[in-house]
Structure 1
Amino acid sequence: MWLKHPKGKHYDPQFKLRLVREFLETDKTLEEIAQEKGIVLQLQNITRRWISLIR
């Protein structure tokens, strides 16, 4: 599944997996990781879904 960023950027499955692993393996919050990766705030709910799918 490809997620399209509002500016036309796609997040590939490997990117999603790396983000979820970073969340699960560190003490960083989802908000911190999203900000570091340049993920738009509206997409954080979708990112939470990625996490729930992988868990």
Structure 2
Amino acid sequence: MSDQQSKKQSEQAASVRRWITQQLKWEESLESLRDTDDESNQDRSAEVVSPTRAA
């Protein structure tokens, strides 16, 4: 009985750990997406400004 309970607890802990790592990966990917968005926006604004500066 106790063996089964400890096994169940360790399985629950493993699933919780998997879920947490999934959440962290998800947040990291979201942050990296946000970073690339910022960079592309800066590039676009530079492209918009340079022709007017040249003219």
Question: TM-score by structure 2 length?
Answer: 0.28
More strand per residue: 1
Question: TM-score by structure 1 length?
Answer: 0.28
More helix per residue: 2
Tell which structure's C-alpha radius of gyration is larger.
2
